[in-house]
Amino acid sequence: MDRIRDQINATARRVPTWAVYILCLLPAPYFFYLAVTGNLGPDPVKPLEHKYGELALQLLIAGLCITPLRQHLGINLIRFRRALGLMAFAYVTFHLLVWAVLDVQTLGRVVEDIIKRPYITIGMAGFALLLPLALTSNNYAVRKLGVKWRKLHKLTYLAVFLGGVHYIWLVKGIQLEPLIYMAVILGLLALRLRGRKPSRIAA
């Protein structure tokens, strides 16, 4: 186990962070291309919208894994957390743009949907929470905000949770996939609650 951990850590140190940005960004044009060329089925707007939304959730969840991986398994991927967070924000934005521009299509109805449809309101709230986090994801803001930065970025927890609720709420009937996402999100958030006690004692 220790050898595997050391190997992962050694490999991770050699991966430049820009590679993570590129890797995370590639699916965006790829799925857009599939949609334009008719390879996402005859109604490509919805699959593209959903794909971007799913990728956003997956990246947010990946970001939530960084701390527990280090605390519980000693795997240090903290260098990539900013990239994962910013890329998650990018996909939430793509998701929102496809929904507003290609799906709903008119500004009046976009506003109406945000106000009148609770699952969309919740999704927008998640996006709104991520916005200040994306804007402060640079070295200058980290230095400037200091302790406040850590507190501010705990908003991620709420944003991911809202994303999970948004997904459960939008499907028809009872579907397994959004429930699995929610279980994973709640599990990762629960690890934080447990992880806090010892650090308090230490402090």
Q: How far is the CB of 93 from another protein (least distance, A)?
A: 18
Secondary structure class of 122 (helix, strand, coil): helix
Rounded-to-integer distance, Cα 181 and Cα 159, Å? 14
108 is a site residue for another protein (CB under 8 A): no
Q: How far is the CB of 52 from another protein (least distance, A)?
A: 13
Give me the long-range contacts of 108-115 (CB less than 8 A, separation at least 24): none
55-63, 130-138, 143-151, 172-180 -> range binding another protein (CB under 8 A): 172-180
13-21, 68-76, 158-166, 170-178 -> range binding another protein (CB under 8 A): 170-178
Could you give the C-alpha distances from 19 to 12, 33, 43, 92, 186, in angstroms and in order?
11, 22, 33, 20, 29
176 is a site residue for another protein (CB under 8 A): yes
Among 38, 193, 197, 199, which residue interacts with another protein (rule: CB under 8 A)?
A: 38
Rounded-to-integer distance, Cα 40 and Cα 125, Å? 29
Please report, as ranges, the residues that interact with another protein according to CB under 8 A: 35-36, 38, 41-48, 102-103, 105, 109, 112-113, 117-120, 169-176
